[in-house]
């Protein structure tokens, strides 16, 4: 499905989110500045797609002249990764891998992020356990994903997200399915309290959720 929409993915992301997606990636990257600017930190951006979260992490890391941060983007869609790689010859590094079965040793990374990818995993608990496995003790995870805003704002947003977005997405991508799947996948995604409980069960401490833009999106954080 993601391979099918790869050619128009970036364009549609920016159009359908009115460019707010860029703000969300930047805000997430800023949150992890203390890790990103650390000497020799190892960072993994899971389900990186065309790499916009990965690039936001790198921009934050290079603010510190001393940091020698290693940043890797991982995704199981080759087409998405090719687009990511085409955006910059200088890296970050890209790797084709399944988030549920990562080709990395235990306790390898200081930070694992995932933007709008985690929600798509077939097994959320297995995904959290795999993130915890590859993190070093004290390492952090940041999962940025959609939420369901409440109240008046939520009612307006639901009309847009369920009625308008699938139609525009299908029209521009020329692919039937993925943009109807998007609201369905957000409905399937656990609400914050449940997601935080799952993170704790997977071994994360200090698990917390920060809503972005009325809760349309939000960042889950946890420490191993
Ligand atoms: C909505 S895109 C998000 C891409 C990017 N992180 C962003 O913020 O634009 C979701 C990505 O997750 C990837 N993905 C879904 N399940 C995956 C899995 N099990 N392992 C690796 N990548 C996966 C898809 O291929 C897709 O590129």
Other CB atoms within a 10 A radius of the CB of residue 212 amount to 17
- 97 neighbors 74 (Cβ within 8 angstroms): yes
Cα–ligand 1 centroid distance for 104 (angstroms): 18
Distance 41 CA to ligand 1 centre (A): 23
Between the CA of 65 and the centroid of ligand 1 the distance, in Å, is 30
d(CA 200, CA 156): 33
pLDDT at 119: 95
Residue 38 Cα to ligand 1 middle (Å): 26
Taking the centre of ligand 1 as the mean of its atom positions, its distance from the CA of residue 47, in whole angstroms, is: 3
pTM above 0.85, yes or no: yes
- What's the CA gap between 66 and 160, in Å, rounded? 44
Question: Are the C-beta atoms of 216 and 147 separated by less than 8 Å?
Answer: yes
Ligand 1 pocket mutation, candidates 6, 75, 175, criterion most atoms within 8 A of CB: 75
Ligand 1 centroid to 66 CA: how many Å?
31
Residues with a CB atom less than 6 Å from ligand 1:
2, 13, 47-49, 52-53, 75-77, 80, 98-100, 115-117, 120-121
Q: Are the CB atoms for 110 and 35 separated by under 8 Å? A: yes
Residue 5 CB: number of other CB atoms within 10 A? Answer: 23
pLDDT at 68: 66
Start-to-end Cα distance in the chain: 32
pLDDT tens per residue across all 224 residues of the chain: 888 878 877 878 887 888 899 999 999 999 999 999 888 899 999 999 999 999 999 999 988 766 667 999 999 999 999 999 999 888 799 999 999 999 999 999 999 999 999 999 999 999 999 999 999 999 999 999 999 998 988 899 889 888 888 888 888 888 877 788 888 888 899 999 999 999 999 999 999 999 999 999 999 999 99
Among 47, 54, 100, which is best to mutate for testing ligand 1, by the most ligand atoms less than 8 A from CB? 47
User: Which of 9, 44, 49, 50 maximizes ligand 1 atoms within 8 Å of its Cβ, making it the mutation to test the pocket?
Assistant: 49
Of 175, 218, 169, nearest to 15 by C-alpha is: 169
pLDDT score at 103 = 98
Residue nearest to atom 6 of ligand 1 (CA): 48
Q: Which atom of ligand 1 is nearest to the CA of 122?
A: 19
For 6, 167, 178, 190, 205, the CA distances from 187, given in Å and listed in that order, are 23, 18, 14, 8, 26
């Amino acid at each position: 499905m993601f391979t099918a929409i790869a050619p128009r993915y970036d364009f549609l992301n920016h159009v359908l989110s009115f460019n707010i997606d860029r703000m969300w990636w930047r805000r997430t990257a800023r949150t992890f500045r203390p890790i990103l600017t650390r000497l020799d930190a190892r960072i993994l951006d899971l389900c990186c797609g065309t790499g916009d979260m990965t690039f936001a992490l790198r921009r934050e890391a290079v603010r510190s002249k001393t940091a020698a941060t290693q940043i890797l983007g991982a995704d199981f869609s080759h087409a998405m990764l090719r687009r990511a790689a085409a955006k910059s010859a200088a890296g970050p590094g890209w790797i084709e891998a399944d988030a549920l079965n990562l080709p990395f040793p235990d306790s390898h990374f200081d930070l694992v992020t995932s933007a709008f990818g985690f929600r798509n995993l077939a097994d959320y608990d297995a995904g959290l356990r795999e993130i915890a496995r590859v993190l070093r003790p004290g390492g952090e995870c940041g999962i940025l994903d959609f939420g369901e805003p409440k109240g008046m704002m939520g009612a307006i947003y639901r009309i847009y997200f369920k009625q308008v977005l699938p139609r525009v997405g299908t029209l521009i991508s020329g692919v039937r399915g993925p943009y109807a799947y998007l609201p369905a996948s957000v409905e399937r995604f656990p609400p914050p309290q449940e997601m935080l409980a799952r993170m704790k069960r997977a071994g994360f401490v200090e698990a917390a959720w920060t809503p972005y833009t009325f809760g349309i999106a939000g960042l889950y954080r946890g420490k191993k």
